[in-house]
Each structure stands twice: as C-alpha cells, then as structure tokens.
Amino acid sequence: MSHHHHHHEHCDEPSAHTLTLFTPAGVLTKAAPLRLAAKRLAAMGFHVHIDEAALVRHQRFGGDDETRLSALHRVAAQAPGIALATRGGYGLTRLLDRIDWKLIAKSVDLGTHWVGYSDMTALQLGLLGRTGRRSWAGPLACGDFGDEMLDEVTSDCFAEAMSGALEAVGFRTEAGFDGFEAKGTLWGGNLCVLNSMLGTRHWPKVKGGILFLEDVNEHPYRIERNLLQLHQAGVLDAQKAIVLGAFTEFKKSPLDRGYSLKAAIAYLRSVTKTPILTGLPFGHVPTKVTLPVGAKVTLLVQARDVLIGW
C-alpha cells in the first residue's frame, strides 16, 4: 500500500487538532486500551479529551441508549477537530431514530471529523443519508491506538487524513482492471451494518458511487447473501465501482466443498455489471486507511495499482 499526499503551505497541522474519544456503541470492559490510545494520540500532537461517559457500562453497551445519545450530542456540541469512537460492537443503529442530525451536521460544518469503522458505519451512513455531510472511515481508538501493536500505516494515514495532507490512498488489486476509471461519491463501511440500514429512512441513496465494504466473522455465504440483497435492491448496479476491503476471521464449514470467498466474489461478478475490485486495506485488520465517506472521489487503476483520490 502506498500513500499519496501533498502538503498545503498553510494547512492545519495535526497539533492544531482537538480530539475527543467517545463511546457510541459497545462497552469498554477495560480502561487500559483507552488510556494507551489517549497517550499515543497525545504523543502524535492531538489535544486529547476523553468524553465523560466513555467508560460507562450498561449490559454490552457503553452506557444505555440515553447515555450514548447524550455523549454523541455532547461531542457534536463541543465540535472538536476530531471525534474518534473508542470502539464499535453494536449500538449505533439503536440511536439512529433519535439522533439530532442537524447538530451532527453543524459540527461537521465547524470542522469535526467523525472517525471510526465497523458499527460507526451506521453513524457515517446516517449522516450522509440524512444530511449529505462527510465523515471518515478509519481506525477506532481502542482497537487501533489502544493496541500494543499499533500499525504505523494506520496511524500515519489517520494523521495525514486529519491534517488535510492526505489526498489519495493507493493499493494493489487483482489483474484485469488496468485502465479502469470511475468518479463518484465514496461510501460504505461494514457490510452487515450497511445492510441493516437498507429499507430505512437513514439509508443514503447514493447513485453512481464508489461503494467500499468490509466485514468480520461472516462466512462467505453470508457476505454473498448481503451483497446479493444489495444487488436485488438495485444498489450494486447503481454504483460505478464496488471496492472490497478485508473480510476476515470467518470459519470454513465442511459443507463448503470448494465454496469460498473467492467463489462468492466470482458469483457476484456474474450478477452485477458493476466492477468489483478487491484489495482495499480496510476492515478488521491492523493496517487500514482513512477514507472520506461522502466525498467525491476518483478511482484510477494502472496495471494492478489502484488510486482513490479526493
């Protein structure tokens, strides 16, 4: 993977950024990863603030719905440079009907970069669907910055994206797409979370977009079933490109008999006319890029090198 960036003469440096860590979904059962993440991010030059409810616990959630909704609204009202979720899990779809989208949109207009992945997909797609505002698909505080083995590419890419220096990401894909070019709105995230918003008023109706997807713990037949639903709902054919990130940690079954993620992708390529590219360094893996959700991007392929620029 390669980064492509361009430093503006007077752009804000990361040190100018206030960064708030908040918990919108799953519970943090330990405080240590949060403290390590805060320390690491501070060392990177961010002015780190930990939201007062970041460590609240309610069942499997980081506080009950009221607590997490209040945290989301509190962070939006403070409008830090960066609002970085502590972790994913499950919990944001519970809040979608009650989120004050105008408040979140206002924070974006004031400069807040909302960052995360996995369950954060629900906030990012809701924000796009309900307000057309951008957010950032990128690392999570505890899983990435709170991990002893923080990946340097993940960290650097995040810092450059937040400072505005990052203007493109590059990666290698399979052969067969040389010369392919597409322009459109970049959107997507976690496949299961994205699918769980289909048919609701929070769904962003993106046409001619570039849809990126990742997932974890999902058997290829479930990945295929979800993508097939997107196809049958007219979503895949309406995009200019589908870009697959990492699909990890699933268990094969003795029933598979040769069926695999590769077979699922081959099948999906046979049903949709939209090119499906693989290889995006994004998902439940240490090395992940930070991408602008809702931004107009250009995707270019030269030989096996893909560049997504904004």
Contact, 89 vs 27, CB < 8 A? yes
CB of 198 to a copy of itself, least distance (A): 4
Q: Tell the smallest beta-carbon distance from residue 106 to a copy of itself (Å).
A: 24
In the complex, minimum distance from the CB of residue 162 to a copy of itself, in angstroms, rounded to a whole number = 29
Selected from 39, 201, 207, 296, the binder of a copy of itself by CB under 8 A is 201
Residues numbered 233-292 forming contacts with a copy of itself, rule: CB under 8 A = 233, 253-259, 263, 267
Q: Which of 89, 138, 184, 294 binds a copy of itself (CB under 8 A)?
A: 89
Report the alpha-carbon distance of residue 129 to residue 131 in Å, rounded. Answer: 6
The helix (run of H) or strand (run of E) holding residue 246 is strand 241-248
Residue 93 beta carbon to a copy of itself: minimum distance, rounded to whole angstroms: 6
Using CB under 8 A as the binding rule, whether residue 68 contacts a copy of itself is answered as no
Nearest to 218 by CA among 252, 269, 257: 252
Catalytic hit among 118, 135, 163, 196: 118
Q: Which of 17, 113, 135, 214 is labelled catalytic?
A: 214
- Return the residues of window 15-34 that contact a copy of itself according to CB under 8 A: 26-27, 29
**139, 282, 117, 210 alpha-carbon torsion, rounded to 10°:** 130
Compute the C-alpha angle 136/219/205, nearest 5°: 40
- Using the minimum distance from each CB to a copy of itself, give the nearer residue, 101 or 180: 101
Written as one string, the DSSP assignment of 143-198 is IIITSTT--HHHHHHHHHHHHT-EEEEEEE--TT-TT-EEEEEEEEEEHHHHHTTT
Q: Does 214 participate in catalysis according to the annotation? A: yes
Pairing of strands 305-309, 296-302: antiparallel
Query: What CA–CA distances, in Å, run from 294 to 126, 212, 301?
Result: 11, 11, 21
Q: Which is nearer to a copy of itself, 74 or 231 (CB)?
A: 231
Task: Find the catalytic residue in 17, 202, 219, 284.
Answer: 284
Does position 205 interact with a copy of itself (CB under 8 A)? The reply is no
Q: Can 49 be counted among the known catalytic residues? A: no
Phi, psi of 169 (to 5 degrees): -125, 150
Q: Does 228 bind a copy of itself (CB under 8 A)?
A: yes
Annotated catalytic residues are 118, 214, 284
Which residues make up the interface to a copy of itself (CB under 8 A)? 26-27, 29, 57, 59-61, 89-90, 93-94, 96-97, 195-202, 221-222, 224-226, 228-229, 232-233, 253-259, 263, 267
